[in-house]
Structure 1
Amino acid sequence: MTAPHVLRRARGVLAVVLAFIWVFPVYWMLNSAFLDNITLSATQPTFLPFGGSVDNFLAVVEDPRFLRALTVSLAVTLITVAVCLAVAFLGALAISRFRFRGRWSFVLALLLIQMLPAEGLFIAQYKMMSSLDLLNNILGLAFLYTAAVVPFTIWMLRGFVAGVPADLEEAAMVDGLSRTKAFLRITFPLLAPGLVASGVYAFLQCWNEFTVALVTMTDEQYRTLPLWLRGFIQASANREIDWGQVMAASTLVAVPVIIFFLIVQSRLSSGLVSGAVKG
């Protein structure tokens, strides 16, 4: 066996090992979600959920706080994604298609904003939300999330917009289309993969965010899913933690998002290829 073949085999083995290391925590969460607390507390680990049940999942789903937190998280996330994509899309178009004074200063400001630690803004954010009477408010939390996600989303979309030649619009305008119709028919379809990628980024940032929600959503009625999940540990302060329900709750929060991301990612890849061919 030649040296290139040995190197290729070694790379393949290394890739499998790294994939296993990445997948194992997810598998352990799923495995533990089907086991009872006595089995999980045993000194001998159980790697396969033989004899397990869905009781942990039923206990979590029947909790009215879960549905309430799911509703809050979905509302905040969808509002943030919609507003973020609209604002970021217009911002990316302005940066890529127009030349104006202060353009590069604006781009530099977008990068500098990303360097600010989120923890350093908590006091200012809390006081601002309190003065606007937006504490424990879905729109208030969506406003903070949008402000946090928009800068990087603009930077991400800028690359997609810059990758579509303006000559395509000009050629369509020569053929008789107006600027608006040329943009909607020619440019916008080619930007769809970028919008999907930016939407996925915004969705994941909002869905998994914990600290800002912890500061601004103090009322139990307005807790998001990460805050609700934290309630399992708090409720178990004076008794043994039911790790089976904790893992089941974590699965219900995390796994659907992972599946959604994988589905969108495959569509994004096909969209990029088809967009390149059409261009």
Structure 2
Amino acid sequence: MGFAMPSSPFLKRGMRVSGIYLCAVALTLFLVGPYLWMVISSVSPERELISTPPHWFPEEPTLERYKGLIGTVQFKRALFNSLVITSLTVVVTLLFGSLAAYASARFSFRGRTQFLFSVLVTQMLPRAAIIIPLYVILGSCGLRDSRLGLIIVYTGFFLPVVIWILRSYFITIPTEIEEAAIVDGCSRVRTLFQVILPLAKPALFATGAYAFLSAWNEFFFALILTSYKAKTLTVLTTEFSTQGGIDYGMMTTAGVLGSLIPIVLALLFQKYVVKGLTAGWT
């Protein structure tokens, strides 16, 4: 007992650290496990996908599905549509979001509180409640099954979150910086684009990442509002499930290919995204 007492604080600390590591490992497996299984399934032969018990690792891995899918016109068109729609959605939301966030953060005007509240309320609307009006409106405007139609819809849904994140960050920037720029002869617009936005790069990366991932992974609107020309990767993935059965191999292959671009961007801009999401709330 005499030897155990002095070391008890170290034992408690070691147990606490071990518990933290175990929780981290368990959480990592919970989050990464499904994706790893999707990758394994995409390179597994068909007979191993439906075998019982399941094969945790393929005995004869194959890349034939990747070669076949990448070479199809449908995949190339869906990938192009996803890239165009997502990229333009990010640009438009950042442009209008920056203007609205800056105005609400720096100017006092009648109805500002109501404006911010109404922006937040739009996020509470279920998508199923407005899909029919959107379908009719886009059809009457000739924008159904078009990239422009999806860009407009995505911008309307993702813009509120972009405004709130950017506004929270703009508030943390000292007004003295803007006053100095105005004294030097800069207009409000020039001050925003040449002074404030460069200082708000972390927030722009964070909101840009949010808009990109949201638009890239969006499925509901893309499924209802497109049929052929503007079909995205998320919709294409579901086409491997038909009444005749489910092609798990091709579905997982499409899922892996569709996830590569978001994963690469997340790894490249992870530092900026974390900084942008946390700085505005400190």
- Quote the offset at 1:172 in angstroms: 3.9
RMSD (Å) for aligned C-alpha atoms: 2.1
Paired residue for 2:251, among 230, 246, 254? 246
Q: Tell me if structure 2 keeps the 8 A contact 1:80–1:142.
A: yes
Distance 2:223 2:186 in 1: 49
Which string of whole-angstrom CA distances, capped at 9 and with x for unpartnered residues, describes residues 141-174 of structure 1?
1111111111111111111111111111223444
Distance 2:276 2:131 in 1: 39
Tell me, what secondary structure is at the counterpart of 2:40? helix
Aligned pair count reads 270
Tell me, what secondary structure is at the counterpart of 2:57? coil
State the AA in 2 paired with 1:56: R
Paired residue for 1:233, among 241, 245, 260? 241
Q: Tell me if structure 2 keeps the 8 A contact 1:169–1:179.
A: no
180-189 or 126-135, which moves further after superposition? 180-189
Paired residue for 2:180, among 157, 161, 171? 171
Distance 2:29 2:135 in 1: 42
- Quote the offset at 1:72 in angstroms: 1.2
Distance 2:88 2:49 in 1: 39
- Quote the offset at 1:271 in angstroms: 8.0
State the AA in 2 paired with 1:231: E
Q: Which residue in 1 is equivalent to 2:102?
A: 93
State the AA in 2 paired with 1:105: Q
- Quote the offset at 1:30 in angstroms: 0.7
Q: Tell me if structure 2 keeps the 8 A contact 1:59–1:245.
A: no
Aligned 1:12-27 pairs, distance under 5 A: 12-27=21-36
Q: Which residue in 2 is equivalent to 1:147?
A: 156
Aligned 1:100-115 pairs, distance under 5 A: 100-115=109-124
Aligned 1:120-159 pairs, distance under 5 A: 120-159=129-168
225-234 or 264-273, which moves further after superposition? 264-273
Runs of at least 4 residues of structure 1 off by over 6 A?
270-273
- Quote the offset at 1:17 in angstroms: 1.1
State the AA in 1 paired with 2:167: R
Q: 1:40 to 1:8 in 2, by over 3 A?
A: same
Q: Which residue in 2 is equivalent to 1:222?
A: 230
Distance 1:205 1:112 in 2: 18
Paired residue for 1:53, among 41, 62, 67? 62
Tell me, what secondary structure is at the counterpart of 1:178? coil
Distance 2:223 2:11 in 1: 57
5+ residue gaps, structure 2, are 1-9
Distance 1:37 1:204 in 2: 31
Distance 1:182 1:142 in 2: 28
Distance 2:181 2:198 in 1: 14
5+ residue gaps, structure 1, are none
Distance 2:272 2:104 in 1: 27
Tell me if 1:74 matches 2:80: no
- Quote the offset at 1:132 in angstroms: 1.1
Output the TM-score relative to the length of structure 1: 0.90
Tell me, what secondary structure is at the counterpart of 2:142? coil
Identity between Structure 1 and Structure 2 (%): 32
- Quote the offset at 1:2 in angstroms: 3.1
Paired residue for 2:169, among 128, 147, 160? 160
Which string of whole-angstrom CA distances, capped at 9 and with x for unpartnered residues, describes residues 172-209 of structure 1?
444x3524555444322111111111111111111111
Q: Which residue in 1 is equivalent to 2:202?
A: 193
State the AA in 2 paired with 1:38: R
Distance 2:115 2:277 in 1: 28
